[in-house]
Amino acid sequence: MQVNINHNKTTNGFAERTITVDMYEFNEISLSLEDRLQTLEIRLEDYKNSNFEKLKELIPKTEARIERLKKIIETLKN
């Protein structure tokens, strides 16, 4: 995969970058993220239905990952 990253400017100490990928690669990235989201949601259900306390401890962390991933996917769709 070829990715072009261009430095545009710096505003208030934050650097702005333009990342360019072709449409095929963008679709591959999107599909991979959707698959990862589905996997995490299944794993979360398994954790919730588990009798093991160690797995139940992973629920908040997994929920946070799911929310982060949903935000990334939504950003890519816009």
pLDDT tens for the chain, 78 residues: list them: 666 777 777 777 787 878 788 888 888 989 999 999 999 999 999 999 999 999 999 999 999 999 999 999 998 887
At 69 the pLDDT is 96
At 20 the pLDDT is 83
At 78 the pLDDT is 79
State the Cα–Cα distance between residues 11 and 78, nearest whole angstrom: 23
Count the helix, strand and coil residues of the chain and give each as a percent rounded to the nearest 5: 65, 20, 15
At 58 the pLDDT is 94
Number of domains in the chain: 1
State the residue range of the domain holding 13. 4-77
State the Cα–Cα distance between residues 9 and 6, nearest whole angstrom: 9
Mapping DSSP to helix (H, G, I), strand (E, B) and coil, where does residue 78 land? coil
